[in-house]
Amino acid sequence: MLFKEISIDAKTELDPFFEMVDYEACEYCFTTLFMWQHVYKTHYHIDSDFAIIMAEYEGNAYSIMPLAKKENLLKAVDYAIDYFKESGSRIYFRGITSDVLNLLKQNYPERFVYTEERDLFDYIYDGESLRTLAGKKNQKKRNHLNYFLKEYEGRFNYRLLSSEDFEDCYKLMETWAETKEKIDDFDEGMDDESEGIRKIFENYEILSDKLKIAGVYIDGNLEAFTIGEMLNEEMALVHIEKANQEIRGLYQFINQQFILNEFPDSKFVNREEDLGIAGLRKAKLSYHPLRFVEKYSVNEI
């Protein structure tokens, strides 16, 4: 079983398989796997009618859900299980959603232990709610947004970014990280995230067939940028959002404008997981998610 590293060259091979499925979890997108490849050492194998993704976490090999049509899903799972056996590893799946969880329980009774991974749950929002911020529940968000619009009237410009703007993004990332350090909110994963963003920028010409990057300039300086794409026909996926934390209402502004301008027809928006980070969880909950994409790890008994 030949597995190849998920490099930018893998996009041409893997995209048809991502388009084959309608998974809602953020892992099931080429950009996600590519930008985090240096962390999880993701590799892939393509068979005749499915693709298997292998990765590594805390020294243990695992597989995410196979990229396969429903009628081939069980065959693909069997293939992954055979790979674990041949490599001498214990069977280990991560990022498994409820549908596949039920498939495993039905076809492999009493073989696995299933563990809920709350820190990895994706937050799913109503697209129109993010575009309009209507209703009483969004009053605080509208207050921040209206403050920004009034305070910076005539001074800001929202637009899609191109490679000529990426140097400005790097500078903003440095300032953003420095601010986080000052308030003792620095997370070890920030360096890995910065590396992932760099990979996106350096390969944007290839990724731009689906990926969109937008930013907000104030008085000629880039103060916020965000990265996202359509995950499936109904759902937009926001990978990254960075903004000057000292500018009240800026996060609310770029959050709204990105979905409003770049994904005007998206029924849902996936803003990924909170990784168990308290501040991030609070921020994501404050936008009142419709639901979560629940994820589970699956281990051999």
Task: Give the pLDDT band of residue 212 (cuts 50, 70, 90).
Answer: very high
Tally of domains within the chain: 2
Distant-in-sequence contacts of 104-111, Cβ < 8 A, 24+ apart? 104/77, 104/298, 107/74, 107/77, 110/301, 111/300, 111/301
> Within this chain, do residues 129 and 255 fall inside the same structural domain, yes or no?
yes
What are the beta bridge partners of residue 89?
Answer: none
User: Could you tell me which of 173, 279, 292 has the C-alpha nearest to residue 223?
Assistant: 173
Residues 239 and 228 in one domain: yes
User: pLDDT tens for residues 159-186?
Assistant: 999 999 999 999 999 998 887 766 655 5
In a domain, 186, yes or no: yes
Of 120, 154, 177, the residue at which a domain comes to its end is 120
Distance (Å, whole) CA 31 – CA 51:
16
Report the DSSP pairing between strands 112-116 and 67-68. unpaired
Place of tokens 């041949």: 86
For 152, half-sphere exposure in the C-beta direction (CA atoms, 13 angstrom radius) is 22
Give the count of alpha carbons within 13 A of 124, CB side only: 16
Arithmetic mean of pLDDT, 198-223 = 98
pLDDT at 294 over 60: yes
Where is pLDDT greater, at 183 or 294?
294
Residue 188 is assigned to a structural domain of this protein: yes
Domain extent for 58: 4-120
- What percent of the chain lies above the pLDDT cut of 70? 97
Residue that the structure tokens 């091979």 belong to? 13
For residue 221, give the nearest of 157, 153, 145 by alpha carbon.
157
Separation of alpha carbons 241 and 150, rounded Å: 22
Cβ neighbours, 10 Å, residue 145: 21
Q: How far is the first Cα of the chain from the last one, in angstroms, to the nearest whole number?
A: 24
Which of 87, 120, 153 is where one domain is finished? Answer: 120
At 37, which CATH number? 3.40.630.30
Q: Which amino acid does the sequence have at 13?
A: E
What is the model's pLDDT at position 99? Answer: 84
Whether 221 and 155 have beta carbons less than 8 Å apart is answered as no
How far apart are the C-alpha atoms of 301 and 37, rounded to whole Å? 28
- One-letter amino acid at 245 equals Q
In contact, 139 and 281? CB cutoff 8 Å? no
Q: Is residue 283 part of a domain?
A: no
pTM of the model: 0.95
Q: Residues 50-105: pLDDT tens digits? A: 999 999 988 899 999 999 999 999 999 999 999 999 999 999 999 999 989 999 99
CA dihedral for 285, 287, 292, 298, sign (positive or negative): negative
Does 138 share its domain with 260?
Answer: yes
Helix (H) or strand (E) holding 57: strand 50-57
Structural domain includes residue 291: no
Which token pair is 186? 């620095």
Same domain for 132 and 112: no
Both 262 and 139 in one domain: the answer is yes
Distances (CA, A) of 76 to 71, 72, 149, 216, 272: 10, 6, 51, 44, 25
Percent helix, percent strand, percent coil in the chain, to nearest 5: 45, 25, 30
The rounded radius of gyration (Å) of the Cα atoms in the chain is 20
